[in-house]
Structure 1
Amino acid sequence: MERKAVPGRHPAMGRPSQTTIEFARLRALAGYDILDTPREREFDDVAELAAEICGTPIAVVNFIGDGRQFFKAEVGLRVRETSPETSFRRQAILQSDFLYVPDAARDPRFAGNPLVTGEPGLRFYAGALLRTEDGYPVGTVCVIHLPARKPLPPAVRRPRA
């Protein structure tokens, strides 16, 4: 049986290329028209609730665009945008659902991250993906703590169906 080429798919692999997936993800994010928008109480409530439930001083709702991450809501961070190259969200968006890092200083994925190796010395991170209806990861809701800390309760770490 002859395998037909599908646009955006590598013929030998039968699945979309990373470039095609990223383009579709960015197009889906653009459809929400959320980057560079003002703060909204509903998003602020989500960040505040995440920080409270998880007992962390920092919590954000962010969206990851092309070469940047935009914080729609934040608690304890006081910035609205950063580069994704130094962020934990870059790793989170590669996960299938949830990224949990109890101590980033001991995690090889963050060995070169200046936010871990230098100031402010981030250690703890937990983030759940925000996905479009089509399943494209466009951002995260995450909590951050400077020192390593006790694990989150299992009910918080368990993905919801």
Structure 2
Amino acid sequence: MRPPWPTNEIARQQALDASGLTQRPPSSEFQRIAEQAALLAATPIAAVSFVDRNRQWLAARVGIRDSEGPRSESFCAFAIMRPGEPLIVTDATQDPRFVDNPAVLGAPYVRFYAGIPLVDAAGFALGALCVADTSPRLQTFDVYDLSHLARQAERLMSQR
């Protein structure tokens, strides 16, 4: 399933363009935050991702080879739909939004995903701090883990 577009997509894109986040080289601080997120969640995959018109750009990544991919295949494009709430997918093979996603059907074989929207000062979700695993997690993500990831996401956006 292709990700939907937020109702404020034009203004969100303008905010992303104005931020310059997708035009600058990856930051070592973003990389540290992605690494901390992977350790906290005990996942082999983590990323700081920004979603533009056509692609998802990974400003930092752990366990992922490519630095960008099509928006149409992006889990994070779903995470930006609700800026104040995390997106939790306990088993992507059972979720109709992701069951036919290339990242589920092939490498890296995503089963679990948790994404915290990266929200700018104006309230636009520009991307997500996310963690993923190759095994489903049938229990919900721990509230402590979510609050820690949310603090990391806030820290990341305050440093840009």
TM-score, normalized by the shorter chain, greater than 0.5:
yes
Aligned to 1:51: 38
Deviates more, 1:94-103 or 1:21-30: 94-103
Structure 1 letter corresponding to 2:23: D
Q: Which has the higher contact order (CA 8 A, sep 6+)?
A: 2
Instruction: Measure the CA separation in 2 of the matches of 1:107 and 1:129.
Output: 20
The answer for the alignment partner of 2:105 in structure 1 is 117
Please state how far the C-alpha of 1:19 moved relative to its aligned partner: 8.0
Query: 4+ residue stretches of structure 1 with deviation over 4 A?
Result: 158-161
| Counterpart in the other structure of 1:133 | 121
| 8 A Cα contact 1:36 1:70, kept in partner | no
Q: Quote the offset at 1:32 in angstroms.
A: 1.0
2:52 corresponds in structure 1 to 65
For the residue of structure 1 that corresponds to 2:128, the secondary structure is strand
Match of 1:100 in 2: 88
Report the Cα distance in structure 2 between the residues aligned to 1:136 and 1:45, rounded to whole angstroms.
Answer: 23
The offset of 1:119, in angstroms, is 3.8
Structure 2: which 5+ runs fail to align? 155-160
8 Å contact from structure 2 (residues 6, 80) kept in 1: no
Q: Which moved more, 1:111-120 or 1:133-142?
A: 111-120
Does 1:153 find its partner at 2:136?
A: no
Structure 1 equivalent of residue 70 of structure 2: 83
Q: TM-score, normalised by structure 2?
A: 0.81
* CA deviation vs aligned residue, 1:39-85 (integer Å, no higher than 9, x gap): 21110111000000000011000111110111100011021111011
The aligned amino acid for 1:78 is R
Aligned to 1:26: 13
